[in-house]
């Protein structure tokens, strides 16, 4: 499965405080947990960090625990189970093209 995690910075803390807290919780080594692949990790200005992970569904509880252990107090978190829509979009485009060619024939 894919999981998109939005990490919203605690704006009551400055960058130095945030980094110190992340270091104290071994964030950079402990997240994501073993068995998870980082697909992307971007910063969206005004929002925070957006992380997409690929993981087996049985690793979801481990992701949750590591976020509770390492991110709370630094980030507010939102979670979105996601999937790769590109193959679906490509199929739907082909199907639409086929329907349109039948109508115009």
DSSP string, 28-55: HHHSSPTT-EEEEEEEETTTEEEEEEE-
CA 83, 89, 94, 95 torsion: positive or negative? positive
pLDDT at 11: 86
pLDDT of residue 93: 97
Domain count, the chain: 1
- pLDDT at residue number 58: 96
Mean pLDDT over the full length of the chain: 94
CATH at residue 50 = 3.30.70.260
How much is the pLDDT for 60? 96
Domain that holds residue 54: 2-104
Phi, psi of 79 (to 5 degrees): -125, 140
List the chain pLDDT tens, one digit each, 105 residues.
999 999 999 888 999 999 999 999 999 999 999 999 999 999 999 999 999 999 999 999 999 999 999 999 999 999 999 888 999 999 999 999 999 998 776
With vertex at residue 57, the alpha carbon angle to CA 45 and CA 74, rounded to the nearest 5 degrees, is 35
Give pLDDT, residue 83: 86
């Amino acid at each position: 499965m894919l999981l998109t995690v939005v990490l919203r910075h605690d704006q009551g803390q400055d960058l130095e405080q945030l980094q110190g807290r992340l270091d104290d919780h071994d964030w950079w080594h402990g997240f994501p947990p073993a068995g998870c692949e980082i697909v992307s990790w971007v910063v969206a200005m005004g929002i925070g960090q957006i992380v997409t992970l690929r993981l087996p569904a049985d690793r979801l509880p481990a992701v949750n625990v590591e976020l509770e252990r390492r991110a709370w107090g630094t980030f507010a978190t939102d979670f979105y189970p996601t999937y790769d829509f590109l193959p679906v979009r490509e199929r739907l485009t082909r199907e639409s093209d086929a329907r349109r060619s039948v109508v115009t024939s």
